[in-house]
Structure 1
Amino acid sequence: MSSYPFNNSFTRQFRQELPVTFCAEEKPFQQIVLSTYGRRSEEEINALGKSLNDQIPDNAIISRLLSKLTQKDSRDAARLTAFVQETHNELRNHASSEPFTAQYYKHLIELLVSFQELVAEYDMNGQELLLGNLNACYFNETSFAVSQSVDSEEVATMHRIIEDYLYQVGEYYQYFHMLLQKEQEQGKDKSRVQVMSHVSYYLDTLITCTEKMIINMEITLDMLLEWETSLQNRESQVLFN
């Protein structure tokens, strides 16, 4: 007898419409319908959702990304923004009180304003955009519904957006290092004990905070690449099976 394998896209529509049936009362969640014996509480339905949660493709890595972005990255970004603002205010005060070096301070202030705008842009058009996309395709224990799916090309696009911001932040990071080196060279005097200037302190701390942001972005990129690779593998299987 000849074998006629079904096309994956043809069979997928039936899997989407297939209810999870336990008989009796039904509770729809968009593409999934739960039927249970007798009456079931919201807690029981949600417990079932939680048990199915681990079996949904990509849900684990999406959950990891969400936790990282909301619990660590957002805190580090808030600390960086607060310190940049603090440094901006302090340097502005120095520029007002020290007219002979005011131009130097003004250059640093302009640099900080530009960097702060980049960090704010990344927060809105990079991190928040990524969070929105992740939340849109994440199943949690309180709902089986999903508002959209995602393919490898969409994940690759998110990767490129974050990567572009990483490059820009890295440019500032290198420039902060150059300014700190110049500041330290100007203060070198072997005849006395070295004391870090207030500008050196601000630059050194700013470098540390920026480095944390860069590390967070690099880890995010690694996780997105892992997700993209996983999607590409499944898309290849769908194409050739």
Structure 2
Amino acid sequence: MSSYPFNPSFTKQFRQEQAVSFCAEEKPYENIVLSTYGRITESEINFLGSSLNEQMCDNAIIHRLLNKLTQKDSQDEARLLAFIQETHQELSAHANAEPFTAQYYKHLIELLASFLDLVNEYDTNGQELLLGNLNTCYFNETSFAVNQSVDSEEVATMHRIIEDFLYQIGEYYQYFHILLQKETEKENDKSRVLVMSHVAYYLDTLITCTEKMIINIESTLDMLLEWETSLQSRESQELFN
């Protein structure tokens, strides 16, 4: 049986285009505007606006990051900085009092000074930079920060910066372990200098404080990766919608 397609001009006469319009009322909610059709209560507007605001601005994960960085990480970092400075001062005093072991102390003192610079740099160009970006993105009516959107590439850049600091801090952490092992081996040597036990204590405490910082940074990286993945998913939807 032969197939005879309809002529476009023939079928066009049966196609009617009607302009459909609805009367929409725009109602603002915080940083978004909702177009409402029909009857909708104020409480429904607030509920819908709150839900959309959380999803569109990633408020939930940003809020978690801000709380983590300001309430826990900053305190652990402050304790680490204080202990590095305290240890630096103590070892400097030992070096001045023990001329025969001054060279050994000098190496530790230089190591601590270098590590102190790294932790301070992380505080300024890592954690503080991240906090600034998060405050800019976080929408809160009680905050003076200006809300702005961020894309997955910007979050990926923050992730790379923090990850680089993690790698550098991890290098010091491993070296502290090596020094502590050497100190522990010397404990069996009866001819060792007695003040070396103080060095072992400082190294052990330093390792503990540094480990806390590493765990905090790893947790931050996990949350940044979660945020980046969420943004990538939403960006792909926007691309194909």
Answering whether residue 136 of structure 2 is matched by residue 120 of structure 1, we say no
- For 2:72, the equivalent position in structure 1 comes to 72
Partner Cα distance (2:186, 2:110) in 1: 21
Counterpart amino acid of 1:222?
D
Q: Report the secondary structure of 1:142's partner residue.
A: coil
CA deviation after TM superposition for structure 1 residue 186, in Å: 1.0
- For 2:151, the equivalent position in structure 1 comes to 151
Off by >6 Å, runs of 4+ in structure 1: none
Contact 2:183 / 2:196 at 8 angstroms: preserved in 1? no
Partner Cα distance (1:108, 1:78) in 2: 21
Q: Report the secondary structure of 1:68's partner residue.
A: helix
Counterparts of residues 25-36 of structure 1 (less than 5 Å): 32=32
Partner Cα distance (2:110, 2:145) in 1: 47
Counterparts of residues 101-116 of structure 1 (less than 5 Å): 101-116=101-116
Partner Cα distance (2:230, 2:216) in 1: 21
TM-score normalised by structure 2 residue count: 0.76
Partner Cα distance (1:163, 1:60) in 2: 22
Percent of paired sites with the same residue: 77
Partner Cα distance (1:32, 1:143) in 2: 17
TM-score normalised by structure 1 residue count: 0.76
Answering whether residue 141 of structure 2 is matched by residue 134 of structure 1, we say no
Counterpart amino acid of 2:78?
A
Q: Alignment length, in residue pairs?
A: 203
Q: Which runs of 5+ in 1 are unaligned?
A: 3-17, 23-28, 35-46
Contact 2:162 / 2:217 at 8 angstroms: preserved in 1? yes
Aligned counterpart for 1:20 among listed residues 5, 19, 27: 27
- For 1:26, the equivalent position in structure 2 comes to none
Q: Report the secondary structure of 1:197's partner residue.
A: helix
Contact 1:32 / 1:144 at 8 angstroms: preserved in 2? no
Q: Which runs of 5+ in 2 are unaligned?
A: 1-14, 17-24, 35-45
Partner Cα distance (1:91, 1:160) in 2: 35
Larger radius of gyration: 2
Partner Cα distance (2:166, 2:239) in 1: 34
Counterpart amino acid of 1:238?
E
Partner Cα distance (2:98, 2:208) in 1: 27
CA deviation after TM superposition for structure 1 residue 95, in Å: 0.1
- For 1:216, the equivalent position in structure 2 comes to 216
Counterparts of residues 173-184 of structure 1 (less than 5 Å): 173-184=173-184
Alignment RMSD: 2.9
Contact 1:65 / 1:223 at 8 angstroms: preserved in 2? yes
Point out which structure has higher relative CO (alpha carbons under 8 A, 6+ apart): 1
Partner Cα distance (2:186, 2:106) in 1: 18
Q: Report the secondary structure of 1:76's partner residue.
A: helix
Q: Which digits, 9 at most, give the CA deviation of each residue in 1:40-98, with x for residues without a partner?
A: xxxxxxx99x9465454411000000000000000000000000000000000000000
Answering whether residue 98 of structure 2 is matched by residue 98 of structure 1, we say yes
Contact 1:62 / 1:138 at 8 angstroms: preserved in 2? yes
Partner Cα distance (1:113, 1:101) in 2: 19
Contact 1:184 / 1:200 at 8 angstroms: preserved in 2? yes
CA deviation after TM superposition for structure 1 residue 196, in Å: 8.0
Contact 1:91 / 1:109 at 8 angstroms: preserved in 2? yes
Partner Cα distance (1:144, 1:106) in 2: 48
- For 2:40, the equivalent position in structure 1 comes to none
